[in-house]
Structure 1
Amino acid sequence: MNKASEPSLSAVSKDGRKVSANALVIGVGQTPDGPVLIESPLTPKASAALSASLPLLGVTGAADEVHRLPGLPEVEADMLVLAGLGKVSPGVALTEETLRRTAGSAVRQIAGTGSVALALPAGSVADAAAVAEGALLGAYSFTEHRSAATAEKVPAPVAEITVITAAADEKAMKPALERARILGRAVNATRTLVNQPPSHLYPETFAAAAKDLAKSLPVKVTVMDEKKLEREGFGGILGVGKGSSRPPRLVKLEYAPLRSKVKLALVGKGITFDSGGLSLKPAAGMQAMKSDMGGAAVVLNALLAIAELGLPIKVTSWLCIAENMPSGTAQRPSDVMTTYGGRTVEVLNTDAEGRLVMADGLVAASEEAPDAIIDVATLTGAQMIALGNRVSAVMGEEGVRDAVKAAADRAGELFWPMPIPEELRASLDSQVADIANHGERFGGMMTAATFLREFVGEVNGTKIPWAHLDIAGPAFNEGAPYGYVPKEGTGVAVRTLVAYAEDVVSRAS
């Protein structure tokens, strides 16, 4: 897989008018009295003249709004970019997420501009890091499979990013920018994997991509092919992959620093294409199904980011990879499979395949007795019905669930805690096997979580703390780009998992 070029990133504290760049970004807030420039780096006279012109220019300050203007004689930039911050109130500081989204929106919408200086309100290291992170997330493009003729027509992402901040010379700025750079790289690598067409990304090549991405990091990668999976009894992954000419894989990545006090296991759903199997999806339902491996891409790149940050926490990621296709060898509705660990599952619906590969991964992860398990999956259409396309669900043991929600809030990602009602378990009872893979239709997101919970192991008679992240809608943006989020792969949940690991390390120390 081609690796996208990465923008250069720096922070400076000098006068924004004296920063040389193709574009200078200034924030505009939305107030009941009209749009206002927020901490403009221009002279008072120029700022006043520009402020008076905002309504005439159609500038409102709304979030995601970007207006380009010619540069002024007093600035080094060729172009002024007015970026909407959304609603602002006097005396109320902007949130880090507002800064992320504004920076990302501006950088995304001025693609084709070589360099950009961001003069957004970022007086602290944390605010400047948020601006940097958003800008890096906005500077993303996927043109790998375009011919040279059409690739040239796609504006190139911004190549140089400069954050203007009074905190530029503080000691904490350098590591904060490095963290932003690592997070941007991890999220964008996840997006690129999700965007790959299934003709190019299938179990074997996904496993190869994981090895390639981990190459320069202190991460051990083990790939189990179909023969090893058969010998070890990974019936869930094998069963889902039976219908494809491209056999499945299980990839295990291990990051184990010597000073780690906590063990975290991450399990990701990696269905490289989901046709539904013999329970065939309608044609329209397959169009985005190259993205059904998003969970595995997330746990891969989250671990790599944690390793690159050097966090003192042991993390193991399990990538459960298969292609779900219909054929004469595919599993059938009413088949019974034996998952890793010996539990039997009646397959009532071959389109409920993600939970089958995840069952194998959860059991394997449990065998190593981690302190917590988090699984990530584009698991159910019911997630989108419940929470829409921008809010992911988190379910599971209360402690881990709430910690994931807190980490997501800090990272700026939208997650909402959902219950796992006990009464749903009865709907998964099978007449012929230990459990069925399909149950109560209403509340299907929670029914799927109920199934997964059955495969989380115990340590000394106590269930391992576990959380399940259903990112079905937010992982793949089929609508227009917004903020720092592009069309198609979004990379959602990577930053949440990294923030969760940071929080665990903080509590342990």
Structure 2
Amino acid sequence: MVNLTLSTRSAADAPGDALVIALVSDSAGTNGAALAPGHDLSRKIVTHLTSVIADLELGGKVGEVTVVAAVPSVASKVVVLAGIGDLGSGSDDLENIRQGVGTAIRSLSKKKKATVVVPGTTAEIVAATAEGVALGAYAVSKAGTTNQDAVDAVVLVGPGDAASRKAVKRAAALGSAVAYCRDLVNLAPNLLYPETFVDSLAEKTKGTKVKLKSYDMKALRAGGFGGTVGVGQGSANEPRIAVLSYAPSRPKATIAFVGKGITFDSGGLCIKPAGGMLTMKCDMAGAAAVAAAVLAVAELGLPVAVTGYLGLAENMPSSTAQRPSDVVTMRGGTTVEVLNTDAEGRMVLGDCIALASESAPDAIIDIATLTGAQVIALANTAAVMANDDALRSRVVDASATVGEAMWPMPLPKELRSALDSINADLAHKGGSEGGMLTAGIFLSEFVGKGIPWSHIDIAGPAFNDKGATGYSPKGGTGFGVRTLVGLAESYV
């Protein structure tokens, strides 16, 4: 993970491999790009860079990266001009800073030390810049190797007030958490399965204020977690439920995060086509986001009690796998008829939501790569459903603040009948209509009475199987971590 520090020294004097300076675009489109405010560069340096900007006809649009060598009076080997768009102070403008700076940092993957000039003086701009650096400085490690392709250290040149220092510290914590989430998602499924997921959590929580409890197959059977047992019984790698808890003294709120952790989803006996399995190592991205968020909340010392419930299973076909038409008893006693073994995530989530409800938290938020319907409807924008309008709005507002795209969706009462079963209390899925919504309705059945609950479907944005863009690498994106942390912060 990148070492992130804040300095008030002159940017031109900072040694290193690269000096990153933001470019802003002209909203009228007449004057081209210009150096963003906040730099302390001499007139000689500004004149040189302004000439380069004009000669290359740079526009300053978000994601535009230009490397300039041999800039006079600059100690760094190269100057990197990073487009951040039309600079303002709104949430979209701050996200443009994250994306623009993140793109520039990602382009420096072969360099080890960089300096980034903060394009402004407010703590919000410092935060966005630092987050862009922390998120963009990630590179996937190949199996069995040590990552050598990410920037090691970045110095931010900007205001040195207490709010700015706090913003950089928070960005570093978020960057570390998102990197952990991405690492988990990117691990091969023969390396990450329920048992090794729990081993990773045990190692990660050492020396922190987060406590870990886990349920093995024997405990799951004894505890009545029929959904989790059913999904995992077809695999040689037995399922687990992991519980991460952070409990500060006199918390201002108590929140439960629930994450779907299907470490590989073959579809079970309702097996997926071969092409449909290529990205199914990412079906545990919700659990990874929850684990990372709890760790970040603890590192930041937020006065909010947070417990993460991770439903971990591998969905495989075998002679012991559950069948379509099986009826299982979930945590809490609800019986469920399994109609399609490839709709397995809602079963582990149902068990975990029921378990979370037993502690009567102020809110329960689950996050999951749950339905293909979400991808069809919203692509890389996550869907947010809830039994409480205020909580749904709180989740969406938190996502907008941190720069993770989410959209509110309904839970239509008329679709509940699609989950009726003659053999059990509940069928575990409806028909083809409104599949994303009926999945949410199913989950709502396991929420304790009177507890505000929200469901976040991240099937689209959790994994990037195309090319890297902005601060997002190819592979696991770490989507949802920052929203969960921002949501916890909203209770402070």
Aligned with 1:121 (options 109, 119, 122): 119
Q: 2: CA distance between counterparts of 1:216 and 1:144?
A: 27
Of 59-68 and 268-277, the range deviating more from structure 2: 59-68
Mapped contact 1:41–1:119 kept (Cα < 8 A) = no
Partner residue in 2 for 1:304: 295
Aligned with 1:467 (options 420, 437, 454): 454
Give % identity.
Answer: 47
Q: Does 1:434 align with 2:425?
A: yes
Partner residue in 1 for 2:21: 26
Partner residue in 2 for 1:211: 202
TM superposition shift of 1:55: 4.9
Partner residue in 2 for 1:11: 6
Of 260-269 and 122-131, the range deviating more from structure 2: 122-131
TM superposition shift of 1:93: 10
Partner residue in 1 for 2:100: 102
Q: Which amino acid aligns with 1:57?
A: L
Is the alpha carbon distance of 1:94 and 1:404 closer, same or farther for their aligned partners in structure 2, counting shifts above 3 Å?
closer
Q: 1: CA distance between counterparts of 2:308 and 2:317?
A: 29
Q: What SS does the corresponding residue of 1:281 show, helix, strand or coil?
A: coil
Q: Which amino acid aligns with 2:422?
A: Q
Partner residue in 2 for 1:496: 483
Question: Any residues of structure 2 matched to 1:56-455 within 5 Å, and which?
Answer: 56-57=55-56, 59-88=58-87, 95-145=93-143, 156-165=149-158, 167-168=159-160, 170-389=161-380, 391-396=381-386, 397-455=388-446
Q: Which amino acid aligns with 1:412?
A: G
Q: 2: CA distance between counterparts of 1:48 and 1:177?
A: 30
Is the alpha carbon distance of 1:250 and 1:114 closer, same or farther for their aligned partners in structure 2, counting shifts above 3 Å?
same
Cα distance per residue 1:389-426 (max 9 Å; x no partner): 2x111110211110111111111211111111111111
Q: What SS does the corresponding residue of 2:98 show, helix, strand or coil?
A: helix
Q: What SS does the corresponding residue of 2:23 show, helix, strand or coil?
A: strand
TM superposition shift of 1:129: 2.1
Q: Which amino acid aligns with 2:43?
A: P
Mapped contact 2:92–2:403 kept (Cα < 8 A) = no
Aligned length in residues: 487
Q: Which amino acid aligns with 2:126?
A: A
TM superposition shift of 1:88: 4.9
TM superposition shift of 1:44: 3.0
Q: 2: CA distance between counterparts of 1:466 and 1:92?
A: 29
TM superposition shift of 1:58: 5.4
Q: 2: CA distance between counterparts of 1:43 and 1:220?
A: 52
Cα distance per residue 1:144-180 (max 9 Å; x no partner): 40558xx7xxx62111111111x22x12233222111
TM-score by length of 2: 0.95
> Runs of 5+ in structure 1 lacking a partner?
1-5
Mapped contact 2:16–2:76 kept (Cα < 8 A) = yes
Partner residue in 2 for 1:3: none
TM superposition shift of 1:48: 3.5
TM superposition shift of 1:212: 1.1
TM superposition shift of 1:92: 8.9
Q: 1: CA distance between counterparts of 2:59 and 2:18?
A: 20
TM superposition shift of 1:455: 0.7
Q: 1: CA distance between counterparts of 2:416 and 2:91?
A: 46
Cα distance per residue 1:36-56 (max 9 Å; x no partner): 222354433443343243354
Mapped contact 1:26–1:82 kept (Cα < 8 A) = yes
